[in-house]
Structure 1
Amino acid sequence: MPAPALARSAALPGITVGLPTGWQVPEGVQMNLTTSFAERGTLPRDNQGNNNLVVFLWATPWKVLGGQLRLIQSFPFNAVSPQEGPWQAGLAQPLTTAQVAWKIGDNLGVSYFLGGFWPSDTLFALRSASIAQRFAISYVGDGWNLTANLHYGTMLEENSPTGVHYSDYMNLDLTATKRFGKWQLGAVAFGSTDLPTNRPGYRPVGQVAAGALVGYAFEKFTVQTFVTRDIAQRNLGGEETRAWLRFLVPLWRPDNDQVPNRVTVRRNSDAGPPVAGR
């Protein structure tokens, strides 16, 4: 039975909600630290999990087909307590990727993300390398962040050394939030599903969850917190409740005088918080 911190997708379902992943961001380096605690109501005892993900995003000055090139590297550290048993912790699968974001209107943007998850030796994590593609669209006018981010993952192996079968997966992360000064309020939702496989007897897993988000933009960084709850699940043993906390921190921005005509998204602008995401 999968632990609550580990659905079948290499990317944690819901990991990019709250972020305008289809929109362009200021040139420079930013960090996203997202931590979450989940409890899934399974029998005879609940499964619990803690996910911690650090993401570094470099919004480069370079263009690809007219879009902003971004380079992303993530480092996850996860822990699980199956059936309320002893906690196990370790490094999970790092992600290395590139993303291109195009501005197609005054407040509308799209992006394409291509990269891969590295294999892991952590026993409770997915151990197969995989290819990750994402397609995002964001509307950021009038303080809104309306974003859909579709994840498509291709596993490079069918079975783990421990006999676990892997399948390709698809996730969809949705965000609808509004800014009120420094505050950000709204709703988030996500879904995940294994894709069909030819393996006899394989039981695909999936979930649909929704929740509410509150964010606040401090002078030097932005904080977001949200809680999500499964509305439906398949072959996961029970519904999951997950509490999330995220810090979005700009680490470096070039001097404006040295970067003419750069795209600028200020902290209190319509575009919302930085976009670093796994």
Structure 2
Amino acid sequence: MEIGQLRYFVAVCEERSFTKAAERLHVVQSALSTQVAKLEAETRTQLLERSNRGVRLTPAGEVFLARARRILTEVEEAGAAMASLRGTLTGVLRVGVINVVGQSAPQVDEALAAFHERHPLVEIRIHDPGSRGIVEEIRAGTMDVGLVGYYAHEVPAELSHRVITDHALVAVVHTRHPLADRGSATLAELAEHGPGVELRAASGLRHYVDEAFASVGVRRQVAFEVATTDESIRYASLGMGFALVPEPTVSPRLLRSRVAVLQVSDLDLRHPVALVHRSPAPTSPAARALIAEIIARAEGSSG
């Protein structure tokens, strides 16, 4: 079993296609197919189901994929550790970042920019599968550092957690909404006067909104599920419903257009941005350096 075979196998699994995997890795498809077939022969197990519709993992392939990813991560981290001994950080740094970070926690963006300037040889891969997905990927070892919308009690105990910022949630509605001139509203009033524009279920923000309505015993209609707070505000500005979002995500430009912002009067709703990673710290030197940069920026902004 060779490292190259594992890389080919993981690429095929992620792309769900031999053709796309070969293009991604810049290799001939026949060579890639041969190496994956050799891997299956060496493990004496069928790892993939091949058909005209693409490639699917077998149950054994699911188990092997998790192991293969861990092995490749260890290899990358070993190379990065050797480079760090020579005074240079290299390798791949996988970072999960929820969409509100740029507005709710700008110090994270500042830390990423400073890190990149100091360590230009580190390849930073930023991904947003939602807070739930980020936590799952860090637990699985396929992500190094995450910025999520959870408080500590909502994160598995084996992960390290640190709140960077937290902000009040406000309701955004169209200026012609029945509650637009009120300045504040209860959750029941918002639900009574129209549907919600919500983030996807995997997001930390959606988790808090769901919990808030459940805590006051109010059921609301969800008109749209979107990926970002910018989208939820945009649809609210079109009069399609209300959106509950962190206060910093509502820009002055929107306030001057078709949006009114209401305080939520019956609950103190807040949404955090928190740093999470394996505890006590990732083995990757690059991940540890980025974590230190984020914490330094967070402490500087709160001081």
Is TM > 0.5 for Structure 1 vs Structure 2? no
How does the TM-score come out when normalised to structure 1? 0.27
Considering only CA atoms, is the larger Rg found in Structure 1 or Structure 2? 2
Higher helix share: 2
Higher strand share: 1
